[in-house]
Amino acid sequence: MTVLRAILVWCAIAGIVAVSLAVAAGSEYLQYRRPVYVAAGFAGVIALALLLVQPLLAAGLLPGIPMRAGRRVHRWTGVALLSAIAVHVAGLWITSPPDMVDALTFTAPTAFSVFGVVAMWALIAAALLAGFRRKLRLRPQSWRLSHTTAASVVVVGSVAHAVLIEGTMGTVSKTVMCAVAVGALALTVGRLKPWTGALRGWRRQAGK
Amino acid sequence: MPQTSMPRRTFIATGAAALLTAGTGLVSPLRSQGLAPSTSMRGGANNYRPGAPVVDRIGGGGFMMSGTVRRAGDGAPLEGIRIQIWAHTTEGRESDARSHGATLTNAEGMFQLEMPQIVPTFGQPHGHLAYDSGDFETVFLRPVMASARDTSLAAHFVLQPA
């Protein structure tokens, strides 16, 4: 039974990602784009795909990858996510510098730019928290709440960014991907309850 | 017997506020001073190429960009006004010289220029138009198509003398 469940979960995730990439690869818009723009677009799709598994890995919710191993993979998918966003932003910058400057300075005419840039900064914040965890010397509960909050902004911002864009992704596969990303985040946050310890700590400090 | 619970103070304050706003004409939009000038849209000037030549058609055509140019205040149509048009199309990217072309308005202040089909870029199917000849304040417009399948787009300028 557990084996069957594992197969189903992994097939579902692989299927959603594969179909999304296939639909994007068949987009008629690709023929009018330079290779660097195409690469930037696909880096965005890959980043969204990584967001499906990233929270689940942290909570050990993916079948076959227990919490301990999941956390290790989680760090590497985090690095992959950062790399994908770096390619996405750099590729779009090369494609049209003025449009990218507008986006990064929050002066673009499109709302999705704002969501995308906010998600990017939240991703950088979450990564810095992870990279300097020891040096920061935060209480574990505070660290976990901060990292989860930043990660939640990443997912919500990225989903809003993706949904509002008219690009190479198919409407149906994009919607499914975004729904699963939000579901994975909700499932993880519901399981880990990152606020419990942190709130208790604050109350205790406030009481002193 | 049920009683309404509006205190006298609230009643007087509401009545006074209503008189102040509606009675003095503070909220009457009909009293604005003629036609207001267009303001440049965010991102409108992106990938602009000053001095793009006046052309009969950009590339192979198939898509119609049109619009009007009027003077701020009295709304009089402006003739001979040079409007530059560019977009990401099936034939070229926004920054390519061949994606840019200019046209002039007729006696009715109308302009139209055939260009290749606009394709969504940076997440939206949109075009760019510019007035930048000096006699009036410079205006950059960035209209967005309702659907990427549309084969025409319109944009209207109201220019303020410089």
What is the mean pLDDT of the segment spanning A179-185? 97
Lowest mean pLDDT among A43-47, A96-100, A193-197: A193-197
Q: What local confidence, expressed as pLDDT, does residue B14 receive?
A: 72
Class of B63-159 in CATH? mainly beta
pLDDT in tens, B25-65: 555 555 456 899 999 999 999 999 999 999 999 999 999 99
Are B43 and A109 inside 8 Å of each other by CB?
yes
Measured in degrees and rounded to the nearest 5, phi and psi for residue B132 equal -150, 50
Extract the tokens encoding A103: 């986006």
pLDDT in tens, A66-95: 989 999 999 999 999 999 999 999 999 999
Is the pLDDT higher at A55 or at B1? A55
3-state secondary structure at position B52 = coil
- Which residues in chain B are contacts of A104 at CB distance < 8 A? none
Are A109 and B88 inside 8 Å of each other by CB?
no
Residue with tokens 């304050």: B13
User: How far is the alpha carbon of A15 from chain B, nearest alpha carbon, in Å?
Assistant: 25
Percent with pLDDT over 90 in chain A: 85
Which of A41, A149, A148, A154 is closest to A91 using CA atoms? A41
Which stretches of B34-77 are DSSP H helices?
none
| Position B12 pLDDT exceeds 80 | no
Q: How confident is the model at residue A198 (pLDDT cuts 50, 70, 90)?
A: confident
Q: Which residues of B lie inside 8 Å of A (Cβ-Cβ)?
A: 41-47, 88-90, 93-95, 119-125, 142, 148
If you measure CA to CA, which chain B residue comes closest to A34? B93
Amino acid making up residue B27: V
| Position A25 pLDDT exceeds 70 | yes
Q: What local confidence, expressed as pLDDT, does residue A203 receive?
A: 63
- Which residues in chain A are contacts of B121 at CB distance < 8 A? 33, 96
Q: Where are the domains of chain A?
A: 2-200
Residue with tokens 């701020």: B72
ipTM of the complex: 0.84
What is the mean pLDDT of the segment spanning A5-16? 94
Strands B152-159 and B139-141: unpaired
What is the mean pLDDT of the segment spanning B141-160? 96
Are A32 and B90 inside 8 Å of each other by CB?
yes
